[in-house]
Amino acid sequence: MTSEVIYKGGLRTIATHLKSGEQIITDAPTDNQGKGEAFSPTDLLATSLASCHLTIMGIKARDMEIDMEGARAEVTKIMASDPRRVAEVKVDIHMPDKDYTDMEKSILEKTAESCPISRSLSEQLKVDLKIIWSA
Protein backbone atom coordinates (compact mmCIF):
# COMPACT_ATOMS: atom_id res chain seq x y z
CA MET A 1 0.00 0.00 0.00
CA THR A 2 1.28 3.48 -0.88
CA SER A 3 -0.86 5.77 1.21
CA GLU A 4 -3.90 6.09 3.41
CA VAL A 5 -6.44 8.89 3.05
CA ILE A 6 -8.84 9.73 5.88
CA TYR A 7 -11.88 11.96 5.49
CA LYS A 8 -11.85 14.37 8.44
CA GLY A 9 -15.22 16.01 7.76
CA GLY A 10 -15.84 19.53 6.54
CA LEU A 11 -14.62 18.55 3.04
CA ARG A 12 -11.09 17.93 4.34
CA THR A 13 -8.88 14.86 3.99
CA ILE A 14 -5.51 13.89 5.38
CA ALA A 15 -3.33 11.68 3.20
CA THR A 16 -0.43 9.84 4.82
CA HIS A 17 2.49 8.45 2.82
CA LEU A 18 2.99 5.15 4.61
CA LYS A 19 6.73 4.71 4.02
CA SER A 20 7.72 8.16 5.32
CA GLY A 21 4.77 9.21 7.46
CA GLU A 22 4.58 12.54 5.60
CA GLN A 23 1.09 14.01 5.36
CA ILE A 24 -0.85 16.18 2.94
CA ILE A 25 -4.08 17.94 3.88
CA THR A 26 -6.67 18.68 1.20
CA ASP A 27 -9.71 20.94 1.28
CA ALA A 28 -12.42 21.43 -1.27
CA PRO A 29 -11.80 24.63 -3.25
CA THR A 30 -13.89 27.73 -2.65
CA ASP A 31 -15.53 27.34 -6.06
CA ASN A 32 -16.82 23.92 -5.00
CA GLN A 33 -18.27 24.49 -1.52
CA GLY A 34 -14.96 24.35 0.32
CA LYS A 35 -12.82 26.64 2.43
CA GLY A 36 -9.79 26.50 0.13
CA GLU A 37 -7.45 26.38 3.14
CA ALA A 38 -5.18 23.75 1.57
CA PHE A 39 -4.50 22.12 -1.76
CA SER A 40 -7.63 20.69 -3.33
CA PRO A 41 -7.43 17.21 -4.87
CA THR A 42 -7.44 18.80 -8.34
CA ASP A 43 -4.67 21.20 -7.24
CA LEU A 44 -2.63 18.14 -6.28
CA LEU A 45 -3.21 16.57 -9.69
CA ALA A 46 -1.86 19.68 -11.44
CA THR A 47 0.96 20.12 -8.94
CA SER A 48 1.91 16.44 -9.19
CA LEU A 49 2.30 16.84 -12.94
CA ALA A 50 4.78 19.69 -12.47
CA SER A 51 6.62 17.80 -9.74
CA CYS A 52 6.86 14.80 -12.06
CA HIS A 53 8.30 16.95 -14.87
CA LEU A 54 10.95 18.36 -12.53
CA THR A 55 11.76 14.98 -10.98
CA ILE A 56 12.22 13.17 -14.28
CA MET A 57 14.31 16.08 -15.59
CA GLY A 58 16.35 15.91 -12.37
CA ILE A 59 17.07 12.22 -12.90
CA LYS A 60 18.28 12.87 -16.45
CA ALA A 61 20.27 15.94 -15.36
CA ARG A 62 21.97 13.95 -12.58
CA ASP A 63 22.84 11.17 -15.03
CA MET A 64 24.35 13.73 -17.43
CA GLU A 65 26.05 15.65 -14.60
CA ILE A 66 24.00 18.78 -15.35
CA ASP A 67 23.16 21.13 -12.48
CA MET A 68 19.51 22.16 -12.49
CA GLU A 69 19.18 22.90 -8.77
CA GLY A 70 16.82 25.81 -8.30
CA ALA A 71 14.58 24.98 -11.26
CA ARG A 72 11.00 25.87 -10.39
CA ALA A 73 7.58 25.30 -11.90
CA GLU A 74 4.62 27.68 -11.94
CA VAL A 75 1.38 25.73 -12.20
CA THR A 76 -2.02 26.96 -13.38
CA LYS A 77 -5.03 24.65 -13.22
CA ILE A 78 -8.08 25.45 -15.34
CA MET A 79 -11.36 23.80 -14.45
CA ALA A 80 -14.29 23.00 -16.73
CA SER A 81 -17.88 22.14 -15.86
CA ASP A 82 -20.52 19.72 -17.07
CA PRO A 83 -18.90 17.50 -16.00
CA ARG A 84 -16.66 19.26 -13.49
CA ARG A 85 -13.09 18.31 -14.31
CA VAL A 86 -9.58 19.65 -14.81
CA ALA A 87 -9.60 20.82 -18.43
CA GLU A 88 -6.10 22.24 -18.71
CA VAL A 89 -2.87 22.42 -16.76
CA LYS A 90 -0.25 25.01 -17.63
CA VAL A 91 3.25 24.30 -16.36
CA ASP A 92 5.97 26.90 -16.84
CA ILE A 93 9.33 25.52 -15.76
CA HIS A 94 11.91 28.21 -15.09
CA MET A 95 15.41 26.85 -15.35
CA PRO A 96 18.22 28.43 -13.32
CA ASP A 97 20.62 30.83 -15.00
CA LYS A 98 23.33 28.38 -16.03
CA ASP A 99 25.21 27.65 -19.23
CA TYR A 100 23.17 24.84 -20.77
CA THR A 101 24.14 23.66 -24.24
CA ASP A 102 21.49 23.40 -26.94
CA MET A 103 21.85 19.61 -26.72
CA GLU A 104 21.29 19.61 -22.95
CA LYS A 105 18.22 21.84 -23.36
CA SER A 106 16.78 19.56 -26.01
CA ILE A 107 17.35 16.41 -23.94
CA LEU A 108 15.85 17.93 -20.79
CA GLU A 109 12.82 19.23 -22.71
CA LYS A 110 12.14 15.81 -24.25
CA THR A 111 12.65 14.19 -20.86
CA ALA A 112 10.08 16.50 -19.23
CA GLU A 113 7.49 15.51 -21.84
CA SER A 114 7.96 11.84 -20.97
CA CYS A 115 7.04 12.00 -17.29
CA PRO A 116 4.88 9.07 -16.11
CA ILE A 117 2.04 11.27 -14.88
CA SER A 118 1.81 13.00 -18.25
CA ARG A 119 1.59 9.59 -19.91
CA SER A 120 -1.15 8.52 -17.49
CA LEU A 121 -3.55 11.43 -17.99
CA SER A 122 -6.53 11.45 -20.31
CA GLU A 123 -5.92 12.83 -23.78
CA GLN A 124 -8.86 15.16 -23.06
CA LEU A 125 -6.73 17.03 -20.53
CA LYS A 126 -4.75 19.75 -22.25
CA VAL A 127 -1.22 20.08 -20.88
CA ASP A 128 0.67 23.24 -21.81
CA LEU A 129 4.31 22.68 -20.82
CA LYS A 130 6.81 25.49 -21.33
CA ILE A 131 10.44 25.44 -20.30
CA ILE A 132 11.95 28.87 -19.86
CA TRP A 133 15.73 29.05 -20.08
CA SER A 134 17.13 32.03 -18.19
CA ALA A 135 20.41 32.35 -20.07
pLDDT of 135: 58
What are the residues facing 94 on neighbouring strands?
A: 72, 132
Task: Tell me: do 28 and 64 sit in the same domain.
Answer: no
Instruction: Identify whether residues 49 and 115 lie together within a single domain.
Output: yes
Q: Consecutive sets of 10 residues in the chain, 135 residues long: mean pLDDT of each?
A: 97 98 96 93 97 98 97 97 95 96 97 94 95 86
Q: Is the pTM of this model over 0.85?
A: yes
CATH number where 83 lies: 3.30.300.20
3-state secondary structure of 31: helix
Backbone φ, ψ for residue 2 (5° rounding): -90, -45
* Residues 82 and 64 both lie in one domain: yes
Report the alpha-carbon distance of residue 33 to residue 108 in Å, rounded: 40
Predicted local distance difference test score (pLDDT) of residue 63: 98
- 132 φψ region: left (φ > 0), alpha (ψ -120 to 50), beta (else): beta
Same domain, 22 and 51: no
Q: What is the pLDDT of residue 134?
A: 83
Q: Are residues 53 and 96 in the same domain?
A: yes
Q: 55 is in which domain, residue-wise?
A: 40-133
